[in-house]
Amino acid sequence: MTVSEVLEQAKALKPNERKELMKLLVDTFDVEPAVTAETTEEHWGKSLNRLLDTLDTSDWENLEIEDPVAWVESIRKQEAARLDNYWNGTQ
């Protein structure tokens, strides 16, 4: 049923019935929206923040890194040296 059809039916009502219909329609706007799984589900960012808060980052606090780029390059070289045997097939 379209809005136009509903309007035509409403026009056929008596004035007091139309007034009652209007009140009922307005009252539907005051009704709380139905709670769905989407509205009760926690945002993923909140759960991520909670997870990050539980991690032990004490090892990261005392790294004494002067140059972060040099540190990353150093770690990459160490990993490459460690995995070199696997890459060359000489395990």
Q: Which residue, among 21, 28, 23, 26, has the nearest Cα to 6 in the 3D structure?
A: 21
- Position 58 confidence tier, pLDDT thresholds 50, 70, 90: confident
The model scores a pTM over 0.75: no
Q: How large is the average pLDDT for residues 43-70?
A: 85
For 5-45, how does the pLDDT look when each residue is reduced to its tens digit (9 = 90+)? 988 998 999 999 999 999 888 888 877 766 666 656 888 99
Burial of residue 26 (CB within 10 Å: 0-12, 13-18, 19+) is exposed
Element at 86 (helix H, strand E) = helix 68-88
In DSSP notation, 19-74 reads HHHHHHHHHHHHSPPPP-HHHHSPPHHHHHHHHHHHS--HHHHT---S-HHHHHHH
Higher pLDDT, 88 or 69: 69
